[in-house]
Amino acid sequence: MSAQANVSIRHDWTRDEVQALFQLPFADLMYQAQTVHRANFDPNQVQVSTLCSIKTGACPEDCAYCPQSARYDTGLEREKLMKVEKVIEEARAAKASGATRFCMGAAWRSPKGKDMPYVTDMVKGVKALGLETCMTLGMLNENQAQDLADAGLDYYNHNLDTSPEFYGDIITTRTYQDRLETLANVRKAGMKVCCGGIVGMGEEESDRAGLLIQLANMPEHPESVPVNMLVKVQGTPLAEQADLDPFDFIRTIAVARILMPKSHVRLSAGREEMNEQMQAMAYLAGANSIFYGEKLLTTPNPEASKDRMLFKRLGIHQESYEIHQDEAEQEAEIYQALEERQNDPFFYNAAK
């Protein structure tokens, strides 16, 4: 494999090519990833999102890594769907601490009809604050995807988690194809896609390659690609999983950057367990997005102030979210309409 970095957008990556990238000497891989990164992004800029759990626990799915599954006893307290107003308050605080995107996650197999009006109100309210919006609510049919898009949702997160070959070892309650269909519905509705996976679940290097090939060979690359390191939670089937070599994690980030040159590659769950040097190496490998906030849904995450200090030491600045004047006016109108609904019991919902 030549040391020349390929900066073109491709959707035809072969397994041999991707496995060859994984097997490059570390310095050569990092060089290629940096070259691709610099050709497409400001290398000293990182996008910051905040993640809020709008409905916690009691999920019927059996994802082996997840403390929110009702099947595992992890001591997690389940919470009902958060009130719309509370979500907007959380978003306002996230914006004040520098986030440009507010991601809302619900532990559902898929949203029910009765939930949709609440979540679409959340989207409108958060967007009205001038934040980009993202949601992860499980599987979506075409109509649900369209309703979210119509409400103004910018991104939908739905991860593939791992390779198709290893997937059945991790989840049995929904298929890989189910996930691909949800992603297709999201695209069809015109939303941006946030889709990645988790490493360190006992998969082989070929599975990490397999996941990245799935993502890179989609008709359009996901705009956001979260790469999560497994957070081992007591009570889940993966609680005793052996640690992944940190260099293999960095390699996964670097290969994601090379395969999807224009996507934001997000350093996601597992950052709490990484020292500053490893996080800096992830940025060098091409990661250019993180989550701020003390929790990622239910697992710990470094405090925002620690991130800001690391950014300062590394000379990293945060990406800003520019909204155009006409969008700003439109959003002000939406916000006013929501404020006028303060007495509407639907706004202060009593969702079950």
Task: Report the residue number, 32 or 299, with the smaller CB distance to ligand SF4.
Answer: 299
52 annotated ligand binder: no
194 annotated ligand binder: yes
Which segments within the chain are labelled E, that is strand? 45-55, 101-106, 132-136, 155-157, 192-194, 197-199, 224-229, 264-267, 289-292, 295-296, 299-300, 317-318
Binding to ligand SF4 by CB under 6 A, coded x per residue (else -) over 118-147, reads --------------------x---------
Least Å distance between CB 219 and ligand SF4?
A: 25
Q: Which of 52, 101, 194, 271 is catalytic?
A: 194
Show contacts with ligand SF4 in window 69-108 (CB under 6 A): 69, 107
Amino acid, single-letter form, for residue 193: V
Please state, in angstroms and rounded to a whole number, the distance separating the CA atoms of residues 183 and 202.
25
Does position 115 interact with ligand SF4 (CB under 6 A)? The reply is no
Least Å distance between CB 115 and ligand SF4?
A: 14
Task: Report the residue number, 111 or 286, with the smaller CB distance to ligand SF4.
Answer: 111
Query: Comparing C-alpha atoms, which of 300, 256, 187 is closest to residue 33?
Result: 256
Do 91 and 102 touch, CB atoms closer than 8 A? yes
103 annotated ligand binder: yes
Active site residue 195: no
Does position 66 interact with ligand SF4 (CB under 6 A)? The reply is yes
Does position 59 interact with ligand SF4 (CB under 6 A)? The reply is yes
Residues 6+ apart with CB under 8 A from 279: 267, 271, 310
Binding residue (CB under 6 A) for ligand SF4 from 30, 46, 52, 63: 63
Least Å distance between CB 66 and ligand SF4?
A: 3
* Interacting span for ligand SF4 (CB under 6 A) from 27-35, 58-66, 187-195, 253-261: 58-66
Task: Report the residue number, 179 or 271, with the smaller CB distance to ligand SF4.
Answer: 179
CB atoms within 10 A of CB 240: 8
Query: Comparing C-alpha atoms, which of 203, 140, 139, 200 is closest to residue 167?
Result: 203
Do 103 and 93 touch, CB atoms closer than 8 A? no
Task: Report the residue number, 46 or 296, with the smaller CB distance to ligand SF4.
Answer: 296
Query: Comparing C-alpha atoms, which of 131, 142, 132, 135 is closest to residue 157?
Result: 135
* Interacting span for ligand SF4 (CB under 6 A) from 57-65, 84-92, 149-157, 309-317: 57-65
Does position 162 interact with ligand SF4 (CB under 6 A)? The reply is no
Residue linked to tokens 């440009």: 100
Please state, in angstroms and rounded to a whole number, the distance separating the CA atoms of residues 311 and 302.
13
As a dihedral over the C-alpha atoms of residue 171, residue 175, residue 178, residue 182, rounded to 10 degrees, the angle is 30
Active site residue 52: no
Q: Which of 66, 101, 251, 271 is catalytic?
A: 66
Least Å distance between CB 266 and ligand SF4?
A: 16
As a dihedral over the C-alpha atoms of residue 141, residue 49, residue 42, residue 33, rounded to 10 degrees, the angle is -70
Catalytic residues: 59, 63, 66, 103, 134, 194, 266
Residue numbers at the binding site for ligand SF4 (CB under 6 A): 59, 61, 63, 66, 68-69, 107, 138
State the binding site.
59, 63, 66, 103, 134, 194, 266
